[in-house]
Structure 1
Amino acid sequence: MKSLFFGLIISISVFSSKSYSQEKSYSIKDSINVFYDQFFNQLETNYIYRKTVDWTRLKPYIKQQALKSNTFEESLKVCTNLFDSIAGDHMILFVENGIYESNLKRRIGQEDLHSSLLETYAKEPKFNVSVVNEQYGYVFVPGMLLLNATQEELNQKAQEIYDAIIRIDNSAKIKGWIIDLRLNIGGNSNVMLAGLYHLLGDHTVSLYLDADKYVKSRSGLHNGVFYENHQIMAQAKILSKPKPEIPVVLITGIMTASAGEFVAMGFRGRKNMLIVGEESYGLTTANDLFELPFKTKAAITLSYGTDRSGKFTKTIRPEKMVVKEANFEDLSKDKNIIEAIKFIDTKQ
């Protein structure tokens, strides 16, 4: 699954404390050795920049630092140094009650964000679909971190997104759709794109490139199924014919990252589509999730993600820039929404 997970990037955010316990049968030293041996094995096999890393030097150094720890949990903090050492700015280690990630990530401060955006983010808003000015469908897609979800649960979430869009489409005369990704800091883009099938239809969504920028795999949609190569990643049962040419505007912002950026890329190249807002955060490499010892998981970067053109861009840059003009309290006064409606109206 590509572009799976994205850690918190906002400098004013707080993560829960990282309590941890390893298997009773292992000593602390044994646990550290087992964990790092298996983690390095996955990195040397899968990491996109693996050929540029001097693993023979790095591995003993990282393990030496980890083995200085008094507890296994403390040893996991060394993963931050590991990620920094291999330029893994998009990689994350998930433990039972928190994460460890790279210090290389761009830091966003309060001064970078509009007050309405901050206030809405603090409320932890959920996915929703509504109608603006009685004619424009509005789809708010936040980050969706589905860390331990089964395939059935992933499909259910995609179905929830799809069904909500269909309900609005059937209940009002919708001239066009606005997809708001401003608070989508990441998660499972497969589920999001499967859920948005009604507005995308059947086609290639993304290409994934290796370290030399050659295509190594592709993902797409067909009849509500999101697939990578020929493997089904998420799907929604289709209730009506899709509308791949109805006007659609995506809103991106400085907090749009990882999976949020992959959703935007999935629409790039679509007819009657515009992106408005601010330039995205810049995590358009693609991750997959790997199981590690002692109830840990790692999101490891495998490839560059691109839209259907195959051209890699570090960020998503809107065609129409709208900076710090959010108004989540009254969407009809939100400058991004106003620009979106202008575009939709020109397509009628």
Structure 2
Amino acid sequence: MRKLFLAVMISVSILFSKVYGQQKVMSVQDSINVFYDQFFEELEANYLYRKNVNWSQIKPYVKKEALKSGTFEKSLKISSKLFDTIRGDHLLLFSEKGMYQSNLKRKIVQEDLHKSLLIAYSEEPKFEAKVINDHYGYVFIPGMLLLNATEKELNERAQKIYDAILELNKTKKIKGWIIDLRLNIGGNSNVMLAGLYHLIGDNTVSLYLDADKNVKNRSGLHNGIYYEDQKIQARVKTIAKPNTEIPVALITGVMTASAGEFVALGFRGRKKLIIIGEESFGLTTANDLFELPFKTKAAITLSYATDRSAVFTNNIEPQIEIVKEANFQDLEKDKNIIEAIKFIDSK
């Protein structure tokens, strides 16, 4: 995702403030009506494919189905059907009790996944940075979903990534870097990209296209600051000049999605870069997060995301394809890592 969980765009009227303050005494039916009125207002104003949707037909149907629910939380389940109907495979709705999404997303079955990858995923992987064979920096970035994080918390998480890279740089003679995105299922792309500033440098990170595929805005990095249209979204305190000449190998897989794909887009076009592994999941449209009534939030698709070329691709395709050859338990035997080292040595 472009900046899902980066900035909260709030549209609140005086009337809504009054209703929200009285939510404890509102009936379930009233709560559902207030919620869906606001939700549809945001979708009609912002959704990328809004002009292709017959809102006059969809809105009454969705509200009618939602009002059959016995509780407000149960009424949110109809949002999945709504997303399917308007072809919103990247739309998401978050409540205090759950997350609702489209059923149109690509289905990943067990046969698509290597046993080693499944084991690693089941262990709830955490960010990691270390050196392989004394000379190859390895940065593992899993999905990072920081839904309610403050600006301070987002910056601290980005700083952790940046500091880990610089610390390895000080202690070892690094020939090149391997960035592993195989278990990056999405989250806060701003945190990831700001954290990787030392390897990306001062550059445009992504371009965003409207429904007609025209460029409407951009994001980039400068002096450790990740911004979008001059609005700061995350930052790190830098201690060294970026190294944009050192070789970098990205590893992607079928679970690399959304924010994970945005990291790859941010690197694509960089010199001395290679992408290794499997074709990514395919969620390269860009979302923003909108606050809605009753402690709910919606990630609404606003644009197509591209690399610096402004050419949209549905997913990230590797230059060297390696299918189901993972070995997270012994990285030196992981074929993706072996190919990454070969690339780095060749440079």
TM-score, normalised to structure 2's length?
A: 0.94
3-state SS of the aligned residue for 2:326? coil
Structure 2 gaps of 5+ residues are 6-21
What residue in structure 2 maps to residue 223 of structure 1?
223
3-state SS of the aligned residue for 2:121? helix
Query: Are residues 1:303 and 2:307 paired?
Result: no
What residue in structure 1 maps to residue 319 of structure 2?
319
Query: Are residues 1:256 and 2:256 paired?
Result: yes
Q: Deviations over 1:1-47 (max 9, x none)?
A: 82426xxxxxxxxxxxxxxxx93221010000000000000000110
Q: Which 4+ residue blocks in structure 1 deviate beyond 3 angstroms?
A: none
3-state SS of the aligned residue for 1:108? coil
Deviation at 1:173, TM superposition (A): 0.3
Deviation at 1:70, TM superposition (A): 1.2
3-state SS of the aligned residue for 1:216? strand
What residue in structure 1 maps to residue 209 of structure 2?
209
Q: Deviations over 1:229-269 (max 9, x none)?
A: 10000000001111011000000000000000000010000
- 1-structure distance, mates of 2:41, 2:168: 48
Deviation at 1:110, TM superposition (A): 1.0
3-state SS of the aligned residue for 2:24? coil
Query: Are residues 1:270 and 2:240 paired?
Result: no
- Structure 2 residue identity aligned to 1:208: Y
Query: Are residues 1:245 and 2:238 paired?
Result: no
- Structure 1 residue identity aligned to 2:338: I
What residue in structure 2 maps to residue 10 of structure 1?
none
- 2-structure distance, mates of 1:236, 1:342: 31
Deviation at 1:143, TM superposition (A): 0.3
What residue in structure 2 maps to residue 189 of structure 1?
189
Q: Deviations over 1:97-128 (max 9, x none)?
A: 32010010111111110000000000001001
3-state SS of the aligned residue for 1:251? strand
3-state SS of the aligned residue for 2:274? strand
What residue in structure 1 maps to residue 70 of structure 2?
70
- 2-structure distance, mates of 1:70, 1:343: 58
What residue in structure 1 maps to residue 337 of structure 2?
337
3-state SS of the aligned residue for 2:332? helix
What residue in structure 2 maps to residue 19 of structure 1?
none
3-state SS of the aligned residue for 1:24? helix
Q: How does 1:1-348 map to 2 (within 5 A)?
A: 2-4=2-4, 23-347=23-347
- 1-structure distance, mates of 2:335, 2:75: 47
Kindly, what percent of the aligned residue pairs are identical?
71
- Structure 2 residue identity aligned to 1:56: S
Deviation at 1:294, TM superposition (A): 0.5
State the number of aligned residues: 331
Q: Deviations over 1:127-181 (max 9, x none)?
A: 0100001100000000000100111111111101100000001110000000000
Structure 1 gaps of 5+ residues are 6-21
- 2-structure distance, mates of 1:189, 1:114: 25
- Structure 2 residue identity aligned to 1:260: G
* Residues 91 and 188 (structure 1), Cα distance of their counterparts in 2 relative to 1, 3 Å cut: same
- Structure 1 residue identity aligned to 2:85: S
- Structure 1 residue identity aligned to 2:94: F
- Structure 2 residue identity aligned to 1:171: T
